[in-house]
Structure 1
């Protein structure tokens, strides 16, 4: 058994420059995939893919209220 603790990835807050990977609209949600990588979504496309992201155990950061 390993004594190494797993920590979640550190990510920066979304900014007005971040865009949805599906349509290019302002990104409101970051989904960090367990296998590595991340996806950025507008609210509409996040809602469309929410169930699949949950199946994949993605870490979801909703930054809609924190955009800088």
Structure 2
């Protein structure tokens, strides 16, 4: 399994978890082809099984803890 943290196409707010419809932060490209998208919760819940079937994992859960940069309006 390969884990990628800087994909050529980042996940966006329009990418939704295949399990519950929340915003996706993990893309799993399967060994058999195709891909699955997961929110952080379901990625953790199914992590062991995903590791078994994944060819590539794009994990962007770090975005959940990123500190936003202040805008000029906040000054």
What is the TM-score of this pair, normalised by structure 1? 0.73
Distance 1:16 1:48 in 2: 21
5+ residue gaps, structure 2: 1-6, 64-75
Structure with larger Rg: 2
**Higher helix fraction: Structure 1 or Structure 2?**
2
In angstroms, what is the RMSD of aligned CA positions?
2.0
Q: Number of residue pairs matched? A: 58
Q: Tell me which protein shows more strand as a share of its residues.
A: 2
Q: Quick one: distance in 2 between partners of 1:11 and 1:52? A: 25
Instruction: Give the alignment of 1:8-23 within 5 angstroms.
Output: 12-23=9-20
Distance in 2, Cα, partners of 1:40 & 1:57: 12
TM-score norm. by structure 2 comes to: 0.67
Return structure 1 stretches of 4+ with deviation > 4 angstroms.
none
Distance in 2, Cα, partners of 1:11 & 1:31: 14
Superposed, 1:39-58 pairs within 5 Å as 39-58=36-55
The whole-number CA distance in structure 1 between the counterparts of 2:36 and 2:54 is 13
**Unaligned stretches of 5+ in structure 1?**
1-9
- 1:36 is aligned to 2:36: no
